[in-house]
Amino acid sequence: MISANPRTRVDLVIVGAGPVGLYGAYYAGARGLSTIVVDSLSQIGGQITAMYPEKLIFDVAGFPAIKGRDLVAGLQAQAAGHDVEYLLGREVQGCVTHADGRHTITTSVGEEIDCGAVVVTGGIGTFTPRKLPAGEDFLGRGLEYFVPDAEPYRGADVVIVGGGDSALDWASMLEPIAGSVTLVHRRSAFRAHQATVDQVMASSVEIVTDAEVTALTGDTELRAAHITHKADGAGREVRCQRVVAALGFLANLGPLRDWELELHDNRHIVVDSAMRTARPGIYAAGDITDYPGKVRLISVGFGEVATAVNNAAVHLDPDAQLFPGHSTDAQPAPVTA
């Protein structure tokens, strides 16, 4: 459930409501742990919900392809039969460890949560999009940094700025329904997966490289993007009603930097094979973690958070078994939509 009046004492706090955090919530429930999941975003799903809910994901075990929003909905349903509470739209701030080993977690809205263990699944931490200097005046009225829903782009002339995975994914997603799609990238080479680049190149998307969008114009609504070629400074105007600036984002660990955790490259939390951090009772899993041989994939994060939760369960009760048994050996909790 999503609550505005949370409990003040639980077994486990999970920091981050992305896919890894949601799977951790299910696994905590399977271990009989009362759990609160905290996230700074107003919806569950983390980056998937905020950035690409309609994008097909191909590397989740058991699904040849699954839309981001469907994956999030399934993970939420999987955890729904357990003792899980969601606190959304607030940031986890302080973490004080007491003499008995329990922790007090504080949030940005003044809540205090007493818990026995913490699992940090905050992805890349909080993230903000890199701005398109030429177009800030049109933000929310033609310019967007994310495409959570493709439908508003139906029939529109769209300019997408960027050369990474998000830019190419959105170009591929919008091409069948938009009136036209123009992709502008400041370099000649793309950072996106080659298969996606090949797909976009074979489509009707117009690709403009070694160029930048230097201005957006219009009156009350966006009418055109002005593109300047870097080699000779030549410019052209492209009619459009919508611009998507997929220029990446700035990640920030925020208050987690003050938790006295060991960090790698000042942006990832160092963990051991049990997903333990440098502080007893605090674990981490998913993209936010680092260790030798780390691979940042959702599928890897699912295994890491299961490891973290099982080790947290033993931390809470040293007499508990680390291995919880196979799920097929127990009657599962009812799954509700």
Tokens matching residue 191 = 């950072």
Q: Please give the Cα distance from 18 to 24 (Å, whole number).
A: 10
Of 89, 125, 119, residue with least CA distance to 24: 119
93 annotated as belonging to a binding site for a ligand:
no
Question: What are the CA-CA distances from residue 262 to residues 36, 153, 254, 268, 293 (Å)?
Answer: 24, 44, 15, 8, 17
Q: Please give the Cα distance from 284 to 308 (Å, whole number).
A: 7
Q: Please give the Cα distance from 277 to 120 (Å, whole number).
A: 10
Listing DSSP states for 202-263 in one string gives TSS-EEE-SEEEEEEEESSSEEEEEEEETTT--EEEEE-SEEEE---EEEE-GGGGGS---E
Q: State whether the Cα torsion 21-27-29-33 is positive or negative.
A: negative
Burial of 255 (0-12, 13-18, 19+ CB in 10 A): middle
Q: Please give the Cα distance from 242 to 239 (Å, whole number).
A: 9
Of 227, 181, 34, 175, residue with least CA distance to 117: 34
Of 163, 220, 213, residue with least CA distance to 190: 163
| DSSP tally for the chain: helices H, then strands E | 6, 22
Q: State whether the Cα torsion 148-297-92-82 is positive or negative.
A: positive
169 annotated as belonging to a binding site for a ligand:
no
39 annotated as belonging to a binding site for a ligand:
yes
47 annotated as belonging to a binding site for a ligand:
yes
Report yes or no: 75 and 57 within 8 Å, Cβ to Cβ.
Answer: no
What angle do helix axes 165-174 and 194-201 make, rounded to 10 degrees?
40
287 annotated as belonging to a binding site for a ligand:
yes
Annotated binding-site residue numbers? 39, 47, 52, 92, 127, 287, 328
Which residues belong to the annotated binding site for FAD? 39, 47, 52, 92, 127, 287, 328
